[in-house]
């Protein structure tokens, strides 16, 4: 059995109800194989944690950017709390080591694991909120999510990069960008795509991603940097 006290030490939170933390790491697939070892899976806690995360991040952005309009704040928030962002933080915290998964799910380390980690991160927030209250949950979010805002703004991760590059390209050179898949590798459940973005005959940048859309967005972000737009 996993020793969740290690995770408590890592995040500096000592749970009053240890079962809550275990539930936060319990995937529905694990319940199917261990019917008598767990009361419930983590989806209800994830639902709660998602709301706590959204409220905390919304208040943080509201205070930090008093001059920004609602639309821009919404885009910032989406970039901060998307699956990639929070699964990244889950990995840094070593949440992978504590997941309770079925044997089948445990083998999958691709995109599906990214979603599981993101959901678990939210479930942990929900568990902290129930066990310790909003302030402690908000401190956890402040430590692991708020600092990412600098990168979001610096790399323009909040922008729809494809739209931004298309607008800039049409305005500055009168050309609509085209996207071409130049490489595709890996098994079906964990593919990696490389996409080139071009302006006419000029290949401007390459982007990599777990889907063609993700690779196109990465290519567009890179192209904005290359062109200084």
Active-site amino acid positions: 50, 122
Burial (CB count within 10 angstroms: exposed 0-12, middle 13-18, buried 19+), residue 227: middle
Burial (CB count within 10 angstroms: exposed 0-12, middle 13-18, buried 19+), residue 106: middle
Q: What are phi and psi of 46, to 5 degrees?
A: -60, -45
Contact status, residue 136 vs residue 192, Cβ threshold 8 Å: no
For residue 181, what are the β-bridge partners? 195
Closest CA to 23 of 51, 55, 50, 46: 46
Contact status, residue 196 vs residue 205, Cβ threshold 8 Å: yes
């Amino acid at each position: 059995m996993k020793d969740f006290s290690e995770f408590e030490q890592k995040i500096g939170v000592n749970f009053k109800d240890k079962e809550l933390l275990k539930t936060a790491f319990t995937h529905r697939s694990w319940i199917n194989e261990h019917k008598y070892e767990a009361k419930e899976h983590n989806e209800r806690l994830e639902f709660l944690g998602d709301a706590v995360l959204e409220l905390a991040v919304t208040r943080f952005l509201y205070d930090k950017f008093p001059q920004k309009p609602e639309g821009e704040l919404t885009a910032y928030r989406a970039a901060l709390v998307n699956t990639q962002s929070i699964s990244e933080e889950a990995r840094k915290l070593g949440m992978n080591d504590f997941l309770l998964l079925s044997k089948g799910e445990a083998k999958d380390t691709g995109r599906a694991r990214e979603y599981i980690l993101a959901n678990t991160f939210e479930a942990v927030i929900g568990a902290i909120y129930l066990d310790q209250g909003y302030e402690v949950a908000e401190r956890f979010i402040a430590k692991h999510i708020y600092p990412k805002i600098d990168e979001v703004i610096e790399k323009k991760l909040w922008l729809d990069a494809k739209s931004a590059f298309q607008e800039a390209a049409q305005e500055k050179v009168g050309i609509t960008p085209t996207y071409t898949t130049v490489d595709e590798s890996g098994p079906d459940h964990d593919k990696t795509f490389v996409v080139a973005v071009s302006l006419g005959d000029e290949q401007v940048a390459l982007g990599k991603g777990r889907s063609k859309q993700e690779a196109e967005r990465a290519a567009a972000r890179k192209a904005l940097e290359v062109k200084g737009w």
